[in-house]
A and B are shown apart, each in its own frame.
Chain A
C-alpha cells in the first residue's frame, strides 16, 4: 500500500480536505465537475428498450420488457411503468441483502417520483383497448458498479431506455378478445419531458461537490438531489444532514441546469 493510500485509509476526512482546500478532488476533478458520461442505447437485443450508462466507473444497465395486461379498474386507460433496480453486493459491499433490499426499494420509489413528477410519460399512451388491454413496462435496472451518484445514473438509464423503447403494434378485437401482435411495425413512445437528476454533497459544510464518488459520499455531511427538466425543477430531495445556505443552493440549481443542457445534448446526439 502506498503512502497516499495509507493516509486515505487512516484519515479519509483529512485526506479529502487536503484536496478540496486546493479546489481539487482526489480524482483530479474540480469541485463542481462531473465525471465523463457514456451513454449506450439498444444494448440488449432481446429487450424492447435498453441502455447502459457509465458515469466515471458507476455503471447502471437498464432493460425494458413490455408485457400485456389488463388495466387497473380505477384507471382503465392507463398503462403501467414499473421501475425496479437491483443493488446487490455485486456493485458495492455497502448493500447487505441480495434480492429486494431496503436501498433498492427506496431507490425504486425515488425513480418513480422523478419519472412522474416531470410528467415525462403519459400513461394513456400505453393503452391498447380501454379497460381491456394495456402495456406494462417492466424497467429492470441493474447496478453493476456503484462508485457514487447511482441515482443520477439510474434515472438517466431509465430515461434513455424509455426513449429507445420500440413497441410492436397490437390489435385487440373487442368482440373475439383475440390479441394480434404485429412485430413488423414498431413504434416508440412520446416522452414529454426528459428529467435529468444531479446529486451534490456538502463536505465540512462549506464545500460543494458535484457527482460524488462513493468515497466522497461516505463522508458527506448532506446530500441534495435535484431533478430538472425544461429549465424547471421537478424534484428536490435533501434528507436531513447539514443545512445549505441559500447562495449555495442557488449555485447548485445553476449547476444542475447546466448539467441538464449537457445531458440533453448528448441524448439528442445519440437519438438523431
Chain B
C-alpha cells in the first residue's frame, strides 16, 4: 500500500491515516442522516436536528482547517488571514440568500434587503447584481476568495515576502477587510452582517431536510477538499511545494519559479476556504464581519497545529476536536473554559509538537523517500528572525 500506484485516485489511499479518515467521514455521512431520520427521537442513538447542524458546522471548520494545512503544512506559507477567504465565501453565499428573501423582508421591498431600505439606499449597488442566481453566487464563492488570493499572492510571493512578514500582512489584510465590512456604507449590512435568511434553492433553510442536505454537502465538500489536497500533495507540484517549504532558496536555485507554485496552492486553498464559508453560512444563519477578525484566523491555525500539520486529516481532526471542545465547555464550564482551552494549546505545543496525529505512529505518513534532514526542517519554517541553529540549511 505504501508503494506508489498508478491506479486512478491512488493518491487517496496511499497512506493509512487518509484511509481511516475517509472511512470515518463516509461512516459519519451515512450514519448521521439515518440516525436523524430513521431512529425514533426517544432512542439514545437518535441524532437531533440540532446536532446535524452542529456537525455540519464542524465539517465546514474542518474544511477551512484543511485549506490552511494545504498551504502551511505543504508549502510553508503561514497565513494568519485565512478567515478572510472563509468570510468572503460566506458573504457571497449570504448575498445570494439575502436576494432569495425577496419581498418577505421586514419592509417588504421586493429588491432591496432590509438593511438597505433602512439606510435609505435607493437601488441595489452594482456588486449585488447577479447574486439572485445560485449559479452566479456559487461561482463567486470560488472566484472572489480566489481573486483576492491571486492578487495578494501575486504581489507578496513575487516580492519574496516570506515567513513572519507574510503572516503579519495576511493579518493586516483580514483586519482591513473586517474594518471595511464593518462600515455600513459598504453595503454589506455592517456589523449585523447578513441574516434572517428564508430559503435556499427553494427549500426552507430551517427545514430538517435542508439541514441534512447541507450536512451531507459539507461532508462531500470536505471529502472533495481532501481529495484535491491529496492530489496536489501527491503530484510533482506537491513535491516542489515541500521543497519550497523546507528550503525555499535552494528550490529557487534549482530553477523552479517558486512564486508560481506558491501562488497556485494559495489560490486553491483560498477557494477551499471560500467553499467552507459558503456552506457554513446557511447552517449558522448569519454572516458578519467578526468572521474577518484576526483572532479567528489565528484560531484556525491553532486547529491545524493541534491536529498536526502536513497531513490534511490532522487539520480536520484538530478543527473538529477543538470546536467540539468549545461547544462542550462553553456549556459545561462557562466560566472556566478559556483556562481549559488555553492550557490545551500550551500542552499540545509542549508535549505533542507534531500535533495529535503526528504523535500517533499509525498516522505518520510513510514518506521514506524524504531525507531525515527535510523532516527536521519541517519544524523550523524557514524565515523567522530566530537565531540560526547549526542544523539550519539553505544558506545561499
The answer to whether A and B interact is no
Which A residues lie at the B interface, using CB under 8 A? Answer: none
Residues of B within 8 A of A (CB): none
